[in-house]
């Protein structure tokens, strides 16, 4: 009996369509949005797909370097129990940009009794979706993903060399068709791999920075799929870039003086009849939409840690960068944190502009939908929408501008506590405080240059 015949019938059919592979990557997504897991021979497919893989529940809470968190609450309480790795329903995803074709199987963590492990970021989002289902509502979600292509050789970010001209990029080229053409083979491969993994990649544009691009992912009324798509898209872009002799980064701010990379999230809500309840036939949007906006604004400071989870994230949230700094909302205002796009009222939606491209899509969408739901349930009213340049409006409340402040706000926040499970919150807080300590211990070359022989 071959290894293929030993696998479940669905996997056998998948293999016939996608060709032979040598290994399976069984992965979960941690709190930092990093995939972690095991590489198994293809003979173990039935074990992976049948829920036979186990991993420590604490694996979702390791820091960005993959180090265990000192004092991890999950480890302290249970002695670091294993959890069951169940399939997410996404299926088997082909990975064709590596030297030897393999398959990726997305998993999520369950406790021994089969209950969801709510510190798993995908399970955290699923819990919010279940709350909407109780109200017979379906969130429709889409993301816009920005990233930079860079030279893979230097240790720091350096613009790539154009495959077409042979010259290094040296200027901003927003909406440049020529720059898209220069990297046409790369983009063609990205779209091919997205199609293989059922990631609905749509329009691509050249963005403000040197070698910066954006690809929109089409909307779906399954928020879990929208988050999956964003996570898999990031992996596809980075993998395809390597195949083309490039590197890709979703750092929030790889260049100190260039545009940062964001992950803008658009969402609306459908009732049981498929009607968009943010639409009341006017340009202003429904009262429900405004309740959602109010929840987002009230929860913004305490969920900033989710939208800006890393040391580098806070370099992006600066004035006059089209990244928000004030807790504000407005109609067709790209300097506000919450933007209500114009257009046909049937498509009325909210655009949340705070998250960086470096954030975890599961947690970002959970935080957005969760805070909006709190506002809707409490029928909160937002302040008046802003008009004009929000960076010059000193009286507006501010988004936390420093990493430690964001951690403190997340820990103290009542809306964050309503949205996320206590264990997830404690694990994320401990993770971020350990990372903060790690960065604080490092002395940079810039510091040496400034102080070594001067003071």
Domain ranges of the chain: 3-118, 129-420
pLDDT at 7: 42
Distance CA 437, CA 423 (A): 21
pLDDT at 72: 67
- Is residue 416 predicted with pLDDT exceeding 70? yes
pLDDT-derived band at 9 (thresholds 50, 70, 90) equals low
**CATH number for the segment(s) 129-420:** 3.30.590.10
- Is residue 431 predicted with pLDDT exceeding 80? yes
Q: Which of 22-36, 153-167, 249-263, 356-370 is predicted with the least confidence, judged by mean pLDDT?
A: 153-167
Residue % of the chain over a pLDDT of 90:
72
If phi > 0 it is left, if psi is from -120 to 50 it is alpha, else beta; for residue 274 that is left
Strands 102-110 and 247-249, by their bridges, are unpaired
- Is residue 407 predicted with pLDDT exceeding 90? yes
The rounded mean pLDDT for the chain is: 91
Distance CA 319, CA 352 (A): 17
Give the residue ranges of DSSP H helices in 274-421.
287-307, 313-316, 361-378, 403-412, 414-419
199-228 per-position pLDDT tens digit:
999 988 887 788 899 999 999 999 999 999
292-330 per-position pLDDT tens digit:
999 999 999 999 999 999 999 999 999 888 899 999 999
Distance CA 102, CA 148 (A): 26
Residue that has been written with the tokens 């799929």 in this structure: 225
pLDDT at 54: 94
The DSSP result for 132-147, as a single string, is HHHTT-EEEEEEEEEE
- Is residue 6 predicted with pLDDT exceeding 60? no
Residue that has been written with the tokens 């019938």 in this structure: 9
- Is residue 344 predicted with pLDDT exceeding 80? yes
Token pair recorded at residue 394: 């000193």
Residue that has been written with the tokens 């990093």 in this structure: 34
**CATH number for the segment(s) 3-118:** 3.10.20.70
pLDDT at 305: 98
């Amino acid at each position: 009996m071959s290894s293929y015949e030993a696998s479940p019938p669905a996997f056998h059919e998948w293999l016939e369509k996608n060709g032979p592979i040598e290994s399976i990557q069984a992965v979960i997504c941690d709190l930092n949005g990093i995939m972690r897991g095991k590489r198994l021979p293809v003979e173990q497919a039935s074990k992976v797909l049948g829920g036979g893989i186990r991993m420590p529940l604490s694996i979702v809470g390791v820091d960005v370097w993959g180090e265990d968190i000192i004092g991890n609450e999950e480890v302290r309480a249970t002695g670091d129990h294993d959890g069951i790795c169940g399939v997410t329903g996404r299926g088997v995803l082909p990975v064709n940009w590596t030297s030897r074709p393999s398959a990726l199987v997305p998993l999520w963590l369950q406790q021994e009794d089969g209950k969801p492990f709510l510190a798993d970021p995908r399970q955290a989002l699923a819990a919010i979706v279940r709350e909407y289902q109780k109200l017979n509502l379906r969130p429709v979600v889409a993301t816009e993903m920005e990233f930079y292509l860079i030279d893979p050789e230097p240790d720091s970010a350096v613009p790539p060399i154009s495959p077409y001209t042979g010259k290094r990029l040296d200027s901003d080229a927003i909406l440049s068709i020529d720059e898209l053409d220069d990297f046409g083979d790369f983009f063609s491969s990205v779209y091919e791999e997205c199609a293989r993994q059922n990631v609905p990649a749509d329009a691509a544009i050249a963005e403000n920075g040197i070698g910066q691009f954006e690809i929109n992912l089409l909307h779906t009324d399954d928020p879990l799929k929208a988050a999956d798509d964003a996570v898999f898209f990031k992996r596809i872009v980075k993998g395809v870039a390597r195949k083309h002799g490039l590197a890709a980064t979703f750092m929030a701010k790889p260049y100190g003086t260039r545009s940062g990379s964001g992950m803008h999230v658009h969402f609306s809500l459908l009732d049981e009849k498929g009607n968009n309840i943010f639409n009341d036939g006017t340009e202003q949007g429904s009262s429900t939409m405004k309740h959602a906006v109010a929840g987002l604004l009230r929860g913004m400071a305490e969920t900033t840690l989710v939208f800006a989870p890393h040391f580098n994230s806070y370099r992006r949230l600066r004035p006059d960068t089209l990244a928000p700094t004030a807790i504000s909302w407005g109609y067709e205002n790209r300097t506000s944190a919450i933007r209500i796009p114009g257009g046909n009222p049937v498509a009325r939606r909210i655009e949340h502009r705070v998250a960086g491209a470096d954030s975890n899509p599961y947690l970002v969408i959970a935080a957005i939908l969760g805070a909006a739901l709190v506002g809707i349930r409490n029928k909160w009213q937002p302040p008046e929408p802003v008009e004009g340049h929000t960076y010059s409006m000193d009286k507006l409340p501010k988004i936390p501008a420093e990493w430690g402040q964001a951690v403190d706000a997340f820990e103290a926040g009542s809306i964050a506590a309503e949205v996320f499970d206590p264990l997830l919150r404690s694990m994320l807080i401990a993770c971020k405080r350990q990372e903060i300590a790690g960065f604080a211990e490092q002395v940079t070359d810039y510091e040496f240059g400034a102080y070594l022989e001067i003071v």
